[in-house]
């Protein structure tokens, strides 16, 4: 399994990144996007690297312990202090970052793009009203509820569903 899986570990994150960049371009963005990544496991790390490599700015990252935000979060520095399960070591973060343990604080970070890369129903009817990003890309399976998607649509924001955005790993596995 390790021989098979490890070469494909970033495929889903790469696909989510491609979906995000494509959606940003379709919305005629001429400046780099400010990005929040909810979840910093394999998918979240890969999509954060992908977007940063293309000039976008990571301004927020959430893991199981809360949300880290700043005007710019260097992805390589965050990856260096993240364990294999996506938990970021807060004792090793730079001093200029804001850290909060409040649930769903990633929704409150001012951003153009939110990537949902962690859990089922992360965006739901109870928290969708807090969304600040105009674009949401689902990198996790079933990352939003039907009620949340309706609220997003009504607010004028746009959501790229996981069935489109996060097919990379499954597609690669099927082809292997």
Please state at what angle helix 11-26 crosses helix 42-53, rounded to 10 degrees: 50
Highest mean pLDDT among 8-17, 21-30, 114-123: 114-123
Structure-token match 């995000």, residue found = 20
pLDDT, mean over the chain: 90
Which range among 4-18, 41-55, 73-87, 90-104 shows the weakest confidence by mean pLDDT? 4-18
Res 1 pLDDT > 70: no
Q: What is the pLDDT of residue 94?
A: 87
Neighbours of 157 (CB within 10 A): 17
For residues 53-63, give the mean pLDDT.
Answer: 97
Under 8 Å between Cβ of 111 and 59: yes
Question: Based on the number of CB atoms within 10 Å of its own CB, is 104 exposed (0-12), middle (13-18) or buried (19 or more)?
Answer: middle
Q: Is 75 helix (H, G, I), strand (E, B) or coil?
A: helix
Residue 141's Cβ-side half-sphere holds a number of Cα atoms within 13 Å equal to: 4
Q: What pLDDT digit, counting tens, does each position of 145-168 carry?
A: 999 999 999 999 999 998 888 876
More confident residue, 169 or 75: 75
Which residues have CB under 8 Å from 53's CB, separation 6+? Answer: none
Tokens matching residue 18 = 């491609």
Question: What percent of the chain lies above the pLDDT cut of 70?
Answer: 89
More confident residue, 14 or 7: 14
Phi, psi of 67 (to 5 degrees): -120, 140
């Amino acid at each position: 399994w390790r021989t098979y899986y490890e070469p494909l570990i970033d495929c889903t994150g790469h696909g989510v990144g491609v979906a995000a960049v494509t959606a940003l371009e379709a919305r005629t963005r001429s400046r780099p996007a400010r990005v929040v990544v909810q979840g910093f496991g394999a998918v979240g790390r890969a999509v954060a690297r992908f977007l940063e490599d293309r000039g976008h700015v990571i301004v927020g990252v959430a893991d199981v312990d809360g949300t880290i935000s700043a005007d710019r979060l260097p992805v390589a520095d965050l990856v260096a202090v993240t364990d294999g399960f996506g938990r970021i070591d807060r004792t090793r973060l730079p001093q200029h970052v804001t850290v909060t343990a409040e649930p769903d604080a990633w929704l409150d970070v001012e951003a153009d793009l939110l990537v949902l890369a962690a859990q089922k129903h992360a965006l739901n009817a109870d928290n969708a009203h807090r969304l600040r990003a105009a674009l949401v890309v689902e990198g996790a399976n079933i990352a939003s509820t039907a009620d949340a998607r309706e609220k997003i649509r009504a607010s004028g924001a746009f959501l790229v569903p996981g069935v489109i955005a996060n097919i990379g790993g499954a597609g690669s596995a099927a082809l292997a």
